[in-house]
Amino acid sequence: MIKLFKYALLLCLLQANLLLRAQVSILPQKAAAGDTVTISFDPSKSAATHKEGPFFVDFNYSNFYEFPSRMPMQQEGKLWRVRFKLPAYANFSCFTIADKDKKFVQQASDSSQYEIYVYKQGKLIAGNYLGKSYSVPVQDKTSDHILATQEYYLKKELSLYPDNYEAQLRLIVLQMKTAGPAQQERLLKKGLAVVEKKFRSNPFFEGNLNKVTMGYLILGQNQKVDSIRQVVINEFPNKKIGISYRLNKLFREQDSTAVVAKIGQLLSLKTADNEAAYGSAYDYLFTYYVRHGDSVQAKKYLPLITRWEQDPYKWRAYNQYVQLLLDHKLMLQDASKLNLYLLDSVAAYPVSLIRYFPETGYLVAHDPAKADKLAAVKAEIMANQGLIAAQLNQPEAARKWFDKSIPTLQSAALLRTVAMQYQQWNDPASAIPVLEAAYRYAPFDPAIRQLLDKAILKNGMDNAAERQAYFSKLDKQWKQGYYQEFQKIIGNTPFPEDISIVDMDKKPLLKADLQDKIVIIDFWATWCKPCIASFPYLHQVYKKYADDPQVKFVILNSGSGNSWDDAYKWAKANPEFDFPFYYNQDKKLSSKLDITSIPTTLILDKKGNIRFRKVGFEGEKLLQSLDAMIEYLKELEH
């Protein structure tokens, strides 16, 4: 049976290669880190309806963190091409080629995508087949042989690199899924031995210990993460790593005064070899003394916590220090200097996802909105500089900083604080437009609406109907900003006809129930923490439209790792969320809809087409964006 499976797999690979040569080429064939890779696509040999494009390369599994997941191709004669330089840390990746709306998707075969393997001096580097094994569920979502295929590639990885730590553990976990209880126990012991060996290979190195932690999580032994840290504390209490873990454990204690005393004891153990571990202790002490109004003690630690190593997160920490000093009106001159330093260094602020690997250092993920995010951070820093100047009784300087920041300031909380400063100066004429800006960014915030309502009332707008019209006008303004963005991202993909969804009474949801309605379908699961975290915001939008016959909410348990009973019990245990819960019975629905992670929210128009797709946890931003999408679709169909 295994031989038959391997033969079928080899046949699929040969067919994929034939198709690849006919329609898509990847050069060089054995690319190495630092090489420029060229992907070429010939639409005339494909099923693409619109041969003129544009076309895109969509990476569906990749560790090219600094690259966009969707790369636009450029037309060169009859071919479409994209070129990029493989980063130093590059490893296996797979991709498809698609048109703008993904109505046409070109891949190597029905069950495989195009693939890039990475070589060094003509030899595959470690991790390629490990990456391939990870990609199997992405490449062939409907296969009945996913586990067997993953096992096949993990064994190939280990045949080349028998010491590949992660591949060893992943293979053990796969084998445990089909093993009996006794065999599972033996495999778990084998996995734990692999992790123990990794730990002993370099117990002083943080990067190695991170891999040890990862190993326990892979094996499902989460409880051992704390125990291995305790082993480090017991065996190496005064080493850098031991001090670091002792401090982390200490910070969990609730009595801050007792923590400060114990930090003092640990500081007596400081040496040249372990001094770098005390950064978190200085941070704790600085924060403690600021909160207790002790500027003398706080001043001792500020120089120590602002001489960190050059890692990207220090800027975020500095920002927090400025905010802490400003909130407690302490050491404002120091806060001003640190804040101006932040302003000078804003280009290095970590606004994008940053990953750290011992082999590569810090990697900043590609973020097409990075420039806009940096502009928003810069505006916040300038607003804080204005607030510091106001506390230092420098109103002219404060107003100048406010004037610079307000046009691009997007923080509703900071805008509200700036407006309150204007009110303290008895300057309602300046406060009202700032509160209007705050309202446009947070129209669901009752405190901001109340402040603005009081301000315009005080300014002479005492007619209730006039004030209501005023807020309606503001609502229209903030929605127009979203509408302009929606024109760039709106799609038009039909929602599948064949659905198998039931409510919490097991009554089927019919396509007829969705007709002539704007439908919000939110995919979630009980184990998905970001999904649950988004519910309070989603619920606020639901309550606004609960009685609107044009709008329907479908809070859909994806069925991934959950049964109907799981969904039912969770809904009953959380009655504060009274929106309509449903359960997905079609295991292929996520594949049909190209949903690879949750939470994912789809917004359908009245004709049953998917017009918007929201992926990931957005927090409070969901309130405005989802509300605006609903209203946009209403206006679009008038």
**What DSSP string runs through 116-136?**
E--EETTEEPTTHHHHHHHHH
**What is the location of CATH 3.40.30.10 in the chain?**
493-636
- Of the two residues 637 and 564, the one the predictor is more confident about is 564
Q: Which residues pair with 553 in a beta bridge?
A: 520
**pLDDT at residue 587, rounded to an integer:** 78
Contacts of 189 (CB under 8 A, 6+ apart): none
**What is the location of CATH 2.60.40.10 in the chain?**
22-153
Give the whole-number percent of the chain exceeding pLDDT 90: 60
Q: Are 94 and 113 in contact (CB under 8 A)?
A: yes
Average pLDDT, the chain: 89
Band of residue 278 on the pLDDT scale cut at 50, 70, 90: very high
Q: Which residues pair with 355 in a beta bridge?
A: 363
**pLDDT at residue 281, rounded to an integer:** 96
Task: Average the pLDDT over 188-208 and give the result.
Answer: 93
Band of residue 18 on the pLDDT scale cut at 50, 70, 90: very low
CA–CA separation, 327 and 248 (whole Å): 26
Give the pairing type, strands 501-503 and 493-494: unpaired
| Residue among 269, 281, 205, 214 at smallest CA distance from 237 | 269
Cα separations in angstroms, 436 against 309, 387, 477? 41, 19, 10
**pLDDT at residue 309, rounded to an integer:** 67
- The answer on pLDDT for 94 being more than 60 is yes
Contacts of 43 (CB under 8 A, 6+ apart): 51, 52, 53, 55, 80
Band of residue 102 on the pLDDT scale cut at 50, 70, 90: confident
Q: Are 112 and 139 in contact (CB under 8 A)?
A: yes
Lowest-pLDDT choice from 217-231, 353-367, 623-637? 353-367
**pLDDT digit string, tens, across residues 204-219:** 888 888 899 999 989 9
Band of residue 20 on the pLDDT scale cut at 50, 70, 90: very low
CATH for 493-636 is: 3.40.30.10
Task: Average the pLDDT over 90-114 and give the result.
Answer: 90
3-state class (DSSP) for residue 75: strand
- The answer on pLDDT for 22 being more than 70 is no
- The answer on pLDDT for 304 being more than 90 is yes
The CATH label, of 3.40.50.300, 2.60.40.10, 3.90.1150.10, 3.30.70.270, for the domain at 22-153 is 2.60.40.10
**pLDDT at residue 574, rounded to an integer:** 93
**pLDDT digit string, tens, across residues 365-382:** 777 888 888 999 999 999
**pLDDT at residue 2, rounded to an integer:** 47
Band of residue 250 on the pLDDT scale cut at 50, 70, 90: very high
- The answer on pLDDT for 457 being more than 90 is no
- Of the two residues 220 and 4, the one the predictor is more confident about is 220
Band of residue 16 on the pLDDT scale cut at 50, 70, 90: very low
Lookup result for tokens 């859909």: 556
**pLDDT at residue 207, rounded to an integer:** 84
Torsion angle defined by CA atoms of residues 161, 164, 169 and 172, in that order, rounded to the nearest 10 degrees: 10
- The answer on pLDDT for 14 being more than 60 is no
Band of residue 12 on the pLDDT scale cut at 50, 70, 90: low
Band of residue 8 on the pLDDT scale cut at 50, 70, 90: low
- The answer on pLDDT for 134 being more than 70 is yes
**pLDDT digit string, tens, across residues 586-602:** 877 887 787 777 888 99
CB atoms within 10 A of CB 189: 11
3-state class (DSSP) for residue 473: helix
Band of residue 350 on the pLDDT scale cut at 50, 70, 90: confident
- The answer on pLDDT for 618 being more than 50 is yes
- Of the two residues 194 and 511, the one the predictor is more confident about is 194
Q: pTM (2 decimals)?
A: 0.76
Band of residue 458 on the pLDDT scale cut at 50, 70, 90: confident
Task: Average the pLDDT over 275-297 and give the result.
Answer: 95
**pLDDT digit string, tens, across residues 153-175:** 999 999 999 999 999 999 999 99
Band of residue 279 on the pLDDT scale cut at 50, 70, 90: very high
Cα separations in angstroms, 363 against 92, 203, 313, 350, 556? 17, 24, 12, 11, 35
- The answer on pLDDT for 484 being more than 70 is yes
| Residue among 572, 626, 566 at smallest CA distance from 599 | 626
- The answer on pLDDT for 288 being more than 90 is yes
**pLDDT at residue 6, rounded to an integer:** 52
**In Å, how far from its chain's centre is CA 336?**
32
- The answer on pLDDT for 144 being more than 80 is no
- The answer on pLDDT for 472 being more than 60 is yes
CA–CA separation, 252 and 424 (whole Å): 40
DSSP string, 397-428: HHHHHHHHHGGG---HHHHHHHHHHHHHTT-H
